């Protein structure tokens, strides 16, 4: 057949023209996919699929803190892929319907999918106040802490070893903080709270922040915020301590004190609180009405283990609390938490949903009826 075509000039010309058209179309499609899904400055190329978060990775020079135009989260931006994978976060599986031995077995975050993806440069900053809008800190190995008095600050591909009350703290009146692909830890016994440290990431502002693909350890109340997007993180090895008040610090992997005006989304994280009951264990997720009513919280597709109760549900008055597709692990206690799976769940709260939550051995879970 090929020899016959090669001897017919007309057919050869027609075939060549058709191939040229097809190649041009393919080339254009490739360029379009590249420009939308895999920018030239991306460290990893996200695979097509739904986005887990509204983040769009900023473009900066590795190893620099960059003063530049503010980089605001875009609702259509593509998140970067977790370390060690070739796909973007957000293509999640539902909670296990059969036994699941470990977070890794079920595709939840761990040390291999969180933390920095690039080599780091040491920076002994000590306490560092950030006052530049749009600043991007990338590729730093920080010995110290960051206190944010600015908008749209991004900390990405960075490690923070803190000896302060916090690792990263956003002050009231400021917004747009993103903490991505970073490790936030401390040296046990070296913190200011009688040797302890309190918050890995703290949101004192009145707007949402994003914390994604981070490896978080040691801090007593690791991720502390009323509103934010907490996704694809690995929180583990919380270190208990007796605080300056002479009491065991209550520990939580994620904590919210209520009174929030925005949404809090807790999605696809591994949240471990192995603190013993005698040393101040509170929750893996603690939604507490300490400063106001708890409202508009989504807890979806997480691996949750430990605490006195694994989940504190917001108590009386809590509304818009959606707890769906989570796995409550027995790795520390037979009932996930030392006393049980969930406490202070408001059955009658408007918009409260409890659906398809299971133990790691596959058993379905329902909150106990209100007394």
Strands 136-138, 65-66: pairing is antiparallel
Find the range with the poorest average confidence among 95-109, 298-312, 332-346: 95-109
Residue 18 CB neighbour total at 10 angstroms: 10
| Spatial separation of the C-alpha atoms in residues 6 and 250, rounded to whole Å | 81
Rounded to two decimals, the pTM is: 0.78
Which residues share a beta bridge with 171? none
Q: Which residue has the tokens 């596959």?
A: 362
In this predicted structure, what is the pLDDT of residue 100? Answer: 80
Q: Give the model confidence (pLDDT) of 110-127 as tens digits.
A: 999 999 999 999 999 999
**What value does the mean pLDDT take over residues 2-10?**
34
Give the distance from CA 212 to its chain's centroid: 3
Q: Give the model confidence (pLDDT) of 82-115 as tens digits.
A: 454 333 344 445 444 556 889 998 999 999 999 9
| Spatial separation of the C-alpha atoms in residues 197 and 215, rounded to whole Å | 16
- The yes-or-no verdict on residue 271 having pLDDT over 70 is yes
- The yes-or-no verdict on residue 337 having pLDDT over 70 is yes
In this predicted structure, what is the pLDDT of residue 371? Answer: 54
The CA-atom distances, in angstroms, between 226 and each of 29, 127, 144, 330, 352 are 43, 24, 25, 27, 17
In this predicted structure, what is the pLDDT of residue 282? Answer: 93
- The yes-or-no verdict on residue 290 having pLDDT over 60 is yes
- The yes-or-no verdict on residue 200 having pLDDT over 50 is yes
Question: What six digits make up the tokens of 226?
Answer: 């009323």
**What value does the mean pLDDT take over residues 223-245?**
96
In this predicted structure, what is the pLDDT of residue 225? Answer: 96
In this predicted structure, what is the pLDDT of residue 370? Answer: 60
**What value does the mean pLDDT take over residues 62-76?**
39
Q: Which of 23-27, 101-105, 229-233: highest mean pLDDT?
A: 229-233
More confident residue, 247 or 93: 247
- The yes-or-no verdict on residue 226 having pLDDT over 90 is yes
Nearest CA to 186 among 203, 202, 177, 199?
A: 199
- The yes-or-no verdict on residue 182 having pLDDT over 60 is yes
The CA-atom distances, in angstroms, between 113 and each of 89, 131, 188, 274 are 10, 31, 24, 21
Which percentage of the chain shows pLDDT scores above 70? 73
| Spatial separation of the C-alpha atoms in residues 183 and 160, rounded to whole Å | 6
Q: Contact 365/359 with Cβ under 8 angstroms? A: yes
**What value does the mean pLDDT take over residues 26-52?**
33
Q: Give the model confidence (pLDDT) of 126-157 as tens digits.
A: 999 999 999 999 999 999 999 999 999 999 99
**What value does the mean pLDDT take over residues 233-240?**
97
In this predicted structure, what is the pLDDT of residue 55? Answer: 46
* Mean of per-residue pLDDT scores for the chain: 80
């Amino acid at each position: 057949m090929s020899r016959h075509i090669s001897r017919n000039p007309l057919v050869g010309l027609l075939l060549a023209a058709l191939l040229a058209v097809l190649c041009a179309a393919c080339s254009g499609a490739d360029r379009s996919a590249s420009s939308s899904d895999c920018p030239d400055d991306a460290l990893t190329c996200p695979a097509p699929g739904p986005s887990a978060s509204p983040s769009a990775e900023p473009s900066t020079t590795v190893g620099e803190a960059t003063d530049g135009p503010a980089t605001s989260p875009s609702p259509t931006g593509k998140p970067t892929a977790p370390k060690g994978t070739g796909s973007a976060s957000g293509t999640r599986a539902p909670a296990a319907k059969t036994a699941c031995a470990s977070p890794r077995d079920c595709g939840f975050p761990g040390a291999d999918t969180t933390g920095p993806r690039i080599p780091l440069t040491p920076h002994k900053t000590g306490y560092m106040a950030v006052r530049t809008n749009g600043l991007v800190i990338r590729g730093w190995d920080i010995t110290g802490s960051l206190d944010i008095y600015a908008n749209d600050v991004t900390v990405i591909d960075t490690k923070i070893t803190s000896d302060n009350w916090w690792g990263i703290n956003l002050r009231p009146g400021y917004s747009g903080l993103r903490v991505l692909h970073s490790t936030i830890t401390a040296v046990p016994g070296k913190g200011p709270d009688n040797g302890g440290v309190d918050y890995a990431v703290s949101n004192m502002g009145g707007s949402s922040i994003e914390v994604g693909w981070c490896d978080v350890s040691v801090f007593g109340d690791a991720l502390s915020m009323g509103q934010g997007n907490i996704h694809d993180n690995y929180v583990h090895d919380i270190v208990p301590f007796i605080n300056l008040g002479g009491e065991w610090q209550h520990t939580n992997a994620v904590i919210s004190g209520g009174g929030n005006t925005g949404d809090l989304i807790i999605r696809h994280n591994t949240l471990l609180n192995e603190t013993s009951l005698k040393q101040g264990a509170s929750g893996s997720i603690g939604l507490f009405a300490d400063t106001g009513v708890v409202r508009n919280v989504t807890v979806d597709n997480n691996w949750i283990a430990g605490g006195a109760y694994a989940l504190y549900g917001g108590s009386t008055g809590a509304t818009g609390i959606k707890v769906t597709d989570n796995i409550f692990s027995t790795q520390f206690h037979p009932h996930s938490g030392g006393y049980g799976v969930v406490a202070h769940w408001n059955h009658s709260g408007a918009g409260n949903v409890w659906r398809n939550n299971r133990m790691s051995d596959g058993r379905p879970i329902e909150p106990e009826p209100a007394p």
